[in-house]
Each structure stands twice: as C-alpha cells, then as structure tokens.
Amino acid sequence: MTNKEVAQILYEIAEILEILGEIPFKIGAYQKAGGVIESMAEDINELASGGPSKLKKLPGVGAHLADRIYQLVTTGHMDYYEEIKKKVPSGLVDLIRVPGLGPKKAKLIYDELGITSIEDVEAAAKEHKIRDLKGMGAKTEENILDSIAQYYKHHERIMLADAYPIAISVIEKLKEQAFVKKADLAGSLRRFKSTIGDIDILATGETEKIMDYFCTMPEVNRVLAKGKTKSAIIHHSGLEIDLRVVKENEYGAALQYFTGSKEHSVALRGIAKKAGLKLSEYGVFEADTDKKVAGITEEEVYKTLGMPYIIPQLRENKGEIEAALENRLPQVIEQSDIRGDLHVHTKDSHGANSLEEMVIKAIELGYEYIAINDHGEKLHIAGGLSAKELLGQVDRIKELNEKYKEITILSSCETNIDNDGNIDYEDDVLAALDMVSASIHGGFGQSKEQITKRMIKAIENPYVKMICHPTGAVLNKRSPYQLDLEAIFDAAYNNNTVLELNSFPNRLDLNDDYLKRAKEIGVKIAINTDAHTTGQMDYMFYGVVTAQRGWLERDDVVNCWPLDQVLNYFA
Ligand code: DGT
Ligand code: CA
Ligand code: CA
Ligand code: ZN
C-alpha cells in the first residue's frame, strides 16, 4: 500500500468515528496519523517492516494505533476498520464527504430519510424534504444545495500534489527502459497548474515497445486505449495518464505543443505566421517552401520565433509572449532561493510535531529562519493557545535559539480575524512576539463589504505583519469568500503587510493570477507551508512552482530575503 492509500483509510476511520460520536481526541488521532503518513518522505512499507514499534515513533501514534497501522500495511486489512465500518452504512460515510454536510447533518438525513448518496440528498433538498428535519430549515437546505453544486464543480480536477509524484515515478520508470530515449511531463502538470485534468507524458524511442511497456506496468489499473503513438491508462491511484510517443527529431515541437496551454500555442502560431513560418506539433516550417527550420528542442522552436525560451509555468498567454519578444520575461524565483518558512504549526496547537522537531526539520532544509505560527486563543477547534501558553512558547523559542545557532526561530501567532476585524490577545502579548500573522477562519458567508472591511482592519493593525491564506479558498471544496482583492492589495501595499502564498496543496492561496496582480501593485508575498507535520514542510515545492506561475521574482518574495531585510520590512 502507498502512504496515500494508508492515509485515506485513516481519514475514513476518523470520519466513521465522527459519525459514531466518538470523542474528538480519538478522531483527531486518526486524522493526524493520516496527515503524517501522507506527507512523510519515508515509505510506510519500509517503516512497518521494522515492526509496530517503529510505527509508534511517528508523531501522535500510540501503541494501539501503531498495531492497527502495522496490520493494515503488512496484510492490507485492518480488523478495527472492518469492525467499525459495519456499524455505519457505507453511504453515510460518502455523505459526510459532501462539504456542508458534517457528520451530524449527514446522520440526521440518513436516519430520517434513509438516504445514502449525494444524488439523493440533492433530490431531497430540491423537493424541500430537508428543511423540515429537526434543526435544518430552508437556509440550511439552500446551503446544502450550494455545497453540492460546488462539490460537482470542483470534483473532477486533481490537485497538483496528488498527481505530480505519481507522474514523476512513471516517467522515471520509463526512462530506466533501454528502449526509451526521452520521457517528459507535458500538459497542465508540466505547467504546474494547481489542479489538473489528467497527466500527459511525452516520450521518444522504440514506439511499439514503449506502448507495450506502458500498458502493462504493474501500476496500471485499466487500459483505456492502446494505439500506435498514443495510449491512455488508469493508474491504480485512479488518475488517468496519457502517453504520446513521437519521433526524436520532432520531440521539441511536440513537447511545446503538448505542454500547451492551448491559448499559448495558438498565440505562438500567430507569431509564426507573421514571420512567414508555420508552427505545428511536428516542427517549425517555412510557410512557402515547407522547409523544416526547427523542432528537435523547445529552445530552438522559441528561438526560431524570435524569442528566448519561455518556462512552462508562464505559458498561459497572459503576457508572457509579449514579454519574451521584448526580452523582459521575469527572472522567477527558484526552490533554492527560499531562506525560511514563516508559517508552521506545532503540537502546541493542532500540529503533530513538537516545536523542536519543526526547528530541526527547518535546519535540515537549510533554512536561515522559521516562524512558529500556532493558532490564537479564540480558535478553540484548532487548539488555540491561551496568552499564558503563547508566552510560554516564546520562552521555549528563546531557549531553542540558544541551542540552535544555525537558525533564527521567530515567535509568531496565527491570530484569528473575528467578525469585527479584531484579532486575538491584548497588545502586551502581541508585543512579546517577533511578528504576528492573521487570518479568517469563519464568517465565510458575510458580504463582500463586510469581509473586506474585516481584513483591511487586520492589515492596518500595526502588530499584524502577514495575512495567511488570504482568500480562504480550499481546492475542490470551498470557493473563496467574497473579497475585494484590489482593495486588499492596496491596503497591504500601503501598510507593508505581507500576503501569504499558502503552499498547502489544497490551498495554494493566493493563486497564480492574484499573485501576478499583487506583484504589479507592489505587494510582498511570503511563500509558506502552513505545515502541521515536519513532512508537510516539503510542500514548499508546490508554493514555489505556483509563485513561478505568478511571475514572482526574488524581490517580490520576503522569504527569499535575508532575515534583516524581512524584519526591516516589518518594522
Ligand atoms: P488539463 O488536463 O485539463 O489540466 O489541461 P491540459 O492543458 O493538460 O490539456 P489536455 O490534457 O487536454 O491536453 C494536453 C496538451 O495538449 C494541452 O496543454 C495542449 C495540447 N492540446 C490539446 N488540445 C489542443 C488543441 O486543440 N490545440 C492546441 N494547440 N493544443 C492542444
Ligand atoms: Ca492534461
Ligand atoms: Ca490529456
Ligand atoms: Zn496555519
């Protein structure tokens, strides 16, 4: 079993326990363990091969849980999971996955209407059968319908982080084969869009052998189509992978074509035409003679069209072609430019690892600084820290700064912006921190004016240096709350308040378009992971590629700066 598959079962157990009305501590243990296993670099099978005691070393995993995970990983079966699954109808578990239907509402709908599918809930809501249930009402019914509509709208697309590692592993396997000369990612995944439709791979080599191999790999669940130059499979993760095999001397042109975006390629073809050329997936040709002038490499294709190479992240026809022609493409940031992470949690609030473990991980990543951002006191559901606890953490951070000279640990707090735009704690507590961040965690349904006002008040608060996950969007799950982003950007710029690019794979908030706009206004961005486990600190990768899509350069990203410069900006 893969780490992800194990994590999914643990999440499902948490959901079942929630329906069964178990205590939050127990539910949280399964959620946390799922998060740790999903994001850790180590293979769960390898870890389990050392016995249950090795699993017990995972943060938050006790003896019972270790035994259960051990059984699952080594046998593919978990007695406990099978046992509790029998206690709830499977449809009910599906139901609570519908956003807007927590376990309580799902159970009520199930008990009263005997419904077990999303489709049936939708039908019942449309027939107004839900509003009369105890504690529901017309408003709730409307909300449920909205949530279902959103669920359908977002559900088909796959999150970058779910697809990328799988695509890379398939490409690596292909490249190991003697009959494969080249293999590369293409499509939206190569452009690092935050969600993708399917995985596209391009290869060149011995065509027939490549197709045979691709369609019979052990990880193939189902072959959708097998052709001479194009095949499509369903990988056992459920993802669709398209593979195209092209001639070696057309590889560059094909890679350009199949990377897209379509809009980018269409615009390129316009440029080619004006220059008396023809661009296709087979190469660049002189229009009048059909003589081939480029096609082996992508660089050559762009060069022939009179421009420097454009990285895939920028290929959306959003100004990159004009910029390339005028030689003013952005020098986008690289992974190696990142000097620190300004938003991580510890188990003091609802993270899984200790403060020191997070610091050690930051040192391993080569960071110069890290800011600890546990939740503020009012966010009870996320284990928010009381003023006393927070000040205690500040003291421990001072000690750790003594112990680990190679890094600077900043004390911070992810305070909650309440319905009036106020944040947690008295001023003297805030003053004891190195920085303060703030974010919205509730009141999502308020009007645009109200939410914008709340956030601007926080931005103007002299203690607040950074706004986290600014739009509140959760990919495949929740649309952004109503927000006048232009006003937010202006306020952030005027107050030297940094906006976050949250790298958590289901957020990537601010998104690429907003980042580009923020940069134009002069707003500074911090690319943070919001990690709740040490493993999640590796999510920085997804933030950086998103920042590249947003045209961000070193000057735009505060955590590409030396610490002095960051603190100066805050001051
Ligand atoms: P996705 O999968 O929906 O996230 O988006 P893409 O961009 O990966 O699109 P996909 O998988 O349909 O096709 C892969 C690439 O093939 C796409 O990025 C560009 C190229 N392509 C597909 N259809 C067309 C087309 O009609 N015209 C042009 N110029 N390129 C196309
Ligand atoms: Ca695709
Ligand atoms: Ca495709
Ligand atoms: Zn956070």
DSSP 269-329: HHHHHHTTEEEETTEEEETTT--EEE-SSHHHHHHHTTS----GGG-SSSSHHHHHHTT--
If you measure from the C-alpha of residue 218 to the centroid of ligand 1, how many angstroms do you get, rounded to a whole number?
Answer: 27
**Both 438 and 508 in a single domain?**
yes
**Mean pLDDT score of the chain, rounded to an integer?**
93
Provide, rounded to the nearest whole percent, the portion of the chain with pLDDT above 90: 75
Burial 260-292 (b: 16+ CB within 10 A, else e): bbeebbebbbebbeeeebbbbebbbbeeeeeeb
- Residue-wise pLDDT for 513-562, tens only, equals 999 999 999 999 999 999 999 999 999 999 999 999 999 999 999 999 99
The number of the ligand 1 atom at minimal distance from the alpha carbon of 187 is 8
Bond preceding residue 365 cis, omega within 30 of 0: no
Burial 499-535 (b: 16+ CB within 10 A, else e): bbbbbbbbbbbbbbebbbbbbeeebbbbbbbbbbbbb
- Asked whether residue 169 is assigned to any structural domain, the reply reads yes
CATH number of residue 52's parent domain: 1.10.150.110
Bond preceding residue 261 cis, omega within 30 of 0: yes
Q: Is the model's pLDDT at 99 over the cut of 70?
A: no
If you measure from the C-alpha of residue 494 to the centroid of ligand 2, how many angstroms do you get, rounded to a whole number?
Answer: 40
CATH number of residue 453's parent domain: 3.20.20.140
Mean pLDDT over 152-171 rounds to 88
If you measure from the C-alpha of residue 197 to the centroid of ligand 1, how many angstroms do you get, rounded to a whole number?
Answer: 10
Residues by chain with Cβ below 5 Å of ion ligand 4: 414, 530
Q: Is the model's pLDDT at 100 over the cut of 80?
A: no
If you measure from the C-alpha of residue 378 to the centroid of ligand 2, how many angstroms do you get, rounded to a whole number?
Answer: 42
Q: Is the CB of 198 under 6 A from ligand 1?
A: yes
Say if residues 44 and 1 touch (Cβ distance below 8 Å).
yes
Nearest CA to ligand 1 atom 3: 197
CA–centroid distance for 307 within its chain: 32
pLDDT bucket at 86, cuts 50 / 70 / 90: confident
Q: Is the model's pLDDT at 154 over the cut of 70?
A: no
Q: Is the CB of 262 under 6 A from ligand 1?
A: yes
Mean pLDDT over 434-458 rounds to 95
Encoded amino acid at 361, one letter: K
Q: Please give the Cα distance from 199 to 523 (Å, whole number).
A: 34
Decide which of 177, 210, 245 is a domain's last residue. Answer: 245
Decide which of 85, 117, 135 is a domain's last residue. Answer: 85
CATH number of residue 195's parent domain: 3.30.460.10
**Both 481 and 412 in a single domain?**
yes
Helices (H) and strands (E) in the chain, counts: 25, 18
- Residue-wise pLDDT for 191-249, tens only, equals 999 999 999 999 999 999 999 999 999 888 888 899 999 999 988 888 899 999 999 99
Residue 136: give the domain boundaries. 92-155
Q: Please give the Cα distance from 282 to 249 (Å, whole number).
A: 9
- Asked whether residue 279 is assigned to any structural domain, the reply reads yes
Q: Is the CB of 556 under 6 A from ligand 1?
A: no
User: Beta strand 414-416 with 408-411: parallel, antiparallel or unpaired?
Assistant: unpaired
pLDDT bucket at 150, cuts 50 / 70 / 90: confident
3-state helix, strand, coil in the chain (%, to 5): 50, 15, 35
Mutate which of 154, 188, 279, 512 to test ligand 1's pocket (most atoms within 8 Å of Cβ)? 188
Q: Is the CB of 143 under 6 A from ligand 1?
A: no
The number of the ligand 1 atom at minimal distance from the alpha carbon of 261 is 18
Q: Is the CB of 351 under 6 A from ligand 1?
A: no
If you measure from the C-alpha of residue 200 to the centroid of ligand 2, how many angstroms do you get, rounded to a whole number?
Answer: 5
> Helices marked H in 341-481 — which ranges?
355-364, 387-403, 427-431, 448-460
pLDDT at position 88, please?
83
If you measure from the C-alpha of residue 470 to the centroid of ligand 2, how many angstroms do you get, rounded to a whole number?
Answer: 28
CATH number of residue 291's parent domain: 3.30.210.10
**Both 221 and 144 in a single domain?**
no
Decide which of 299, 325, 351 is a domain's last residue. Answer: 325
Nearest CA to ligand 1 atom 15: 258
- Asked whether residue 510 is assigned to any structural domain, the reply reads yes
Q: Is the CB of 192 under 6 A from ligand 1?
A: no
If you measure from the C-alpha of residue 260 to the centroid of ligand 3, how many angstroms do you get, rounded to a whole number?
Answer: 11
Beta-sheet strands, E only, within 132-274: 158-159, 180-186, 195-196, 199-205, 220-226, 230-235, 240-245
Q: Please give the Cα distance from 230 to 232 (Å, whole number).
A: 7
- Asked whether residue 415 is assigned to any structural domain, the reply reads yes
- Asked whether residue 330 is assigned to any structural domain, the reply reads no
pLDDT at position 153, please?
65
**Both 481 and 366 in a single domain?**
yes
Mean pLDDT over 18-42 rounds to 88
**Both 206 and 58 in a single domain?**
no
**Both 110 and 173 in a single domain?**
no
Query: What is the total count of domains within the chain?
Result: 5
**Cβ atoms within 10 Å of 355's Cβ, excluding its own:** 21
Provide, rounded to the nearest whole percent, the portion of the chain with pLDDT above 70: 98
Q: Is the model's pLDDT at 20 over the cut of 90?
A: no
Cβ within 8 Å of residue 553, ≥6 positions away: 330, 331, 332, 333, 519
**Both 413 and 474 in a single domain?**
yes
Shortest-distance ligand to the CA of residue 269:
1
**Both 75 and 8 in a single domain?**
yes
From residue 186, give the alpha-carbon distance in Å to each of 202, 203, 253, 281, 416: 6, 10, 12, 13, 41
**Both 194 and 304 in a single domain?**
no
Encoded amino acid at 442, one letter: G
Mutate which of 157, 196, 200 to test ligand 1's pocket (most atoms within 8 Å of Cβ)? 200
Q: Please give the Cα distance from 329 to 299 (Å, whole number).
A: 15
| Residue listed under structure tokens 């359908």 | 152
Say if residues 300 and 294 touch (Cβ distance below 8 Å).
yes
- Residue-wise pLDDT for 368-397, tens only, equals 999 999 999 988 777 899 999 999 999 999
Cβ within 8 Å of residue 275, ≥6 positions away: 305, 306
- Asked whether residue 304 is assigned to any structural domain, the reply reads yes
Nearest CA to ligand 1 atom 19: 260
Nearest CA to ligand 1 atom 25: 262
pLDDT bucket at 305, cuts 50 / 70 / 90: very high
Q: Please give the Cα distance from 449 to 487 (Å, whole number).
A: 10
Mean pLDDT over 491-515 rounds to 97
Token pair of 457, please? 């008040």
Q: Is the CB of 230 under 6 A from ligand 1?
A: no
Q: Between 343 and 116, whose confidence is greater?
A: 343
User: Beta strand 230-235 with 220-226: parallel, antiparallel or unpaired?
Assistant: antiparallel
Say if residues 289 and 276 touch (Cβ distance below 8 Å).
no
- Asked whether residue 113 is assigned to any structural domain, the reply reads yes
Whole-model pTM: value is 0.78
Q: Is the CB of 187 under 6 A from ligand 1?
A: yes
Encoded amino acid at 137, one letter: G
The number of the ligand 1 atom at minimal distance from the alpha carbon of 193 is 4
**Cβ atoms within 10 Å of 236's Cβ, excluding its own:** 15
Q: How many residues belong to the chain? A: 571
Q: Is the CB of 280 under 6 A from ligand 1?
A: no
**Both 76 and 131 in a single domain?**
no
- Asked whether residue 267 is assigned to any structural domain, the reply reads yes
Nearest CA to ligand 1 atom 2: 197
Q: Is the CB of 260 under 6 A from ligand 1?
A: yes
CATH number of residue 114's parent domain: 1.10.150.20
Encoded amino acid at 280, one letter: S
Q: Is the model's pLDDT at 474 over the cut of 80?
A: yes
Q: Please give the Cα distance from 462 to 467 (Å, whole number).
A: 13
Q: Is the CB of 196 under 6 A from ligand 1?
A: yes
If you measure from the C-alpha of residue 166 to the centroid of ligand 4, how many angstroms do you get, rounded to a whole number?
Answer: 27
If you measure from the C-alpha of residue 221 to the centroid of ligand 1, how many angstroms do you get, rounded to a whole number?
Answer: 24
Say if residues 95 and 115 touch (Cβ distance below 8 Å).
yes
Q: Is the CB of 240 under 6 A from ligand 1?
A: no
pLDDT bucket at 104, cuts 50 / 70 / 90: confident
Nearest CA to ligand 1 atom 23: 262
The number of the ligand 1 atom at minimal distance from the alpha carbon of 269 is 29
**Both 441 and 507 in a single domain?**
yes
**Both 170 and 110 in a single domain?**
no
Cα–Cα–Cα angle for 531, 534, 539, rounded to 5 degrees: 50
